[in-house]
Structure 1
Amino acid sequence: MATPRTEHRAKIAEARNVLGEVIARARFAGATTVLMNRGKEAAVVVPYDFYERALAALDEVAEPAES
């Protein structure tokens, strides 16, 4: 059974002040942090393994299927 994904939201200025905590949450707890700028989503800090899986999935979509 998959563990529910934890997501945090933080203004960029606030996240800057606690960047170590944001990174630790991603690295050790698998939590994502959505960085907000003027009330809009600007970027996301994700665990590195999630990033690698996302890149691999994009590569699979970009490569034509072999018959």
Structure 2
Amino acid sequence: MATSDRELRMGVSDARANLTEVIAKVRLLGQCVVLTRREKPQAVLVSHDFYEQALSDRARLESLEK
């Protein structure tokens, strides 16, 4: 169910059953994993580096808005 090289869509049950592999794809390959339930996106797994960068970007944007 891959949608691009950087993003993978996967059902929550499949992700749970293959959690070690999913984490490896996120951490080592830099893929974002969109978790779905009944084909609707529920959450996204991203690497810790991506998350930290997103937090930093958000803080920077919020400070620019003030």
Q: 1:5 to 1:54 in 2, by over 3 A?
A: farther
Q: Distance in 1 between matches of 2:35 and 2:23?
A: 12
- The alignment-based identity, stated in percent, is 38
Distance in 1, matches of 2:54 and 2:22, equals 20
**After TM superposition, what 4+ stretches of structure 1 lie above 4 angstroms from structure 2?**
none
1:9-55 Cα offsets, whole Å, 9 max, x none, are 10001110001111011111111110001211000111111100000
Name the one with the larger helix percent.
2
Q: 3-state SS of the aligned residue for 1:63?
A: helix
Query: Which consecutive unaligned segments of at least 5 residues does structure 1 have?
Result: none
- The answer as to whether partners of 1:26 and 1:46 remain within 8 angstroms in 2 is yes
- Kindly name which structure, 1 or 2, has the bigger radius of gyration based on alpha carbons: 1
Query: How many residue pairs get matched?
Result: 63
Contact 1:5 1:31 in 2 (8 A): yes
Partner of 1:52: 52
Structure 1 counterpart of 2:17, which letter? N
Q: Unaligned 5+ residue runs, structure 2?
A: none
C-alpha RMSD over aligned residues: 1.9
* Structure 1 Cα separation of the partners of residues 65 and 35 of structure 2: 36
Q: What residue identity is the alignment partner of 2:21?
A: E
